[in-house]
Amino acid sequence: MMKNFKAEIISNKEVNPDIFNLIFKAPELAAAAPGQFLEILCGADGVSGGPFLRRPFGVYNTDVKKGTAEILFKVLGQGTKNLSARKAGEILDIVGPLGSGFKIIDTPRPVIAGGGMGVAPLLLLAKILHEKKQKPIIFLGAKNKEELAAAEKFEKYGKVILTTDDGSAGEKCFLNIPLEKYLKENKNAVIYSCGPHPMLKCLAELGKKYKAAVQVSLEEKMACGLGVCRGCPVEVKNKDEKYKMVCKDGPVFPAEDVVW
Ligand code: FES
């Protein structure tokens, strides 16, 4: 259930240049589903000093026994810059968990596809699939090695295939290339994905071509995160309701429902 709560920071580490893994106490998030997200106040002191609107972050991981949760984020603007400077012992102001996450399907062929910082909401999913004794094959793509910030964390949950645009890690190509090879040999796969819009569009096309069920977690700027400001529309194939709100109706959608 969604709540507004305060959470004490346990650690905030720069895991790769400009990419931070922030861990905080949050027993409130024990039941967060993979794909759900949090809205966090990112003022200079955690509350005031702007930016005034909260910033959205996918739930990267949770530890139910320890009562902790994690986010993984890249410094992209003032809000994330402020967040990167927060220290252990300081307090975060969080609303969440928000939105609807991935629908876990019982399948012999689970596939995870994460592009860039789109990996953030996928680690918890990989962990849950692993706990359910599914063996996901995990495709992770990024511009370069530094942006593959979470690759080694995925390794304990399934086979990981890496691609980078510059060839600094894994194959030098976009992740759709090895993924298509896999889909050619493995029909009826289920793909859980998050990443840049062109990548997700490409996965939607591959899903159609190889009869794979594709779920996409859309990345949008979100001001309220609650479906109130109407600032995060996505066009869908629905004659009654042309637009849905990414924050409230998603962020995860079946790829075939989205107008690409
Ligand atoms: S962020 Fe306000 S409606 Fe989605």
CA neighbours closer than 13 Å in the CB half-sphere of residue 164 = 13
Rounded distance, CA 34 to CA 97, Å? 10
Cα(250) to ligand 1 centroid in Å equals: 11
- Among 38, 222, 253, which is best to mutate for testing ligand 1, by the most ligand atoms less than 8 A from CB? 222
Tens-digit pLDDT string for the chain (260 aa): 778 999 999 999 999 999 999 999 999 998 899 999 999 999 877 666 667 788 999 999 999 999 999 999 999 999 999 999 999 999 999 999 999 999 999 998 899 999 999 999 999 999 999 999 998 999 999 999 999 988 999 999 999 999 999 999 999 999 999 999 999 999 889 999 999 999 999 999 999 999 999 999 998 888 888 899 999 999 999 888 899 999 999 999 999 999 99
Cα(41) to ligand 1 centroid in Å equals: 15
Q: Which segments of 34-178 are extended strands (E)?
A: 37-40, 55-58, 61-63, 68-74, 91-98, 110-115, 137-142, 159-164, 171-172
Ligand 1 atom nearest to CA at 228: 3
CA dihedral 162, 105, 207, 219 (to 10 degrees): -70
Ligand 1 proximal residues by C-beta, below 6 Å = 222-225, 227-232, 245, 247
Cα(54) to ligand 1 centroid in Å equals: 11
Q: What is the pLDDT of residues 37-74, one digit of tens each?
A: 999 999 877 666 667 788 999 999 999 999 999 999 99
What is the Cα 110 distance to its own chain's centre?
17
Q: In the chain, what are the domains?
A: 3-98 (2.40.30.10), 110-219 (3.40.50.80)
Cα(237) to ligand 1 centroid in Å equals: 20
Classify the C-alpha dihedral 77-78-79-80 as positive or negative: positive
- Among 224, 244, 249, which is best to mutate for testing ligand 1, by the most ligand atoms less than 8 A from CB? 224
Ligand 1 atom nearest to CA at 248: 4
Beta 213-217 vs 61-63: how paired, if at all? unpaired
Closest CA to 24 of 81, 91, 74: 91
Cα(233) to ligand 1 centroid in Å equals: 8
pLDDT of residue 219: 85
Q: Which residues have CB under 8 Å from 19's CB, separation 6+?
A: 72, 73, 74, 75, 117, 146, 147, 149
Cα(169) to ligand 1 centroid in Å equals: 36
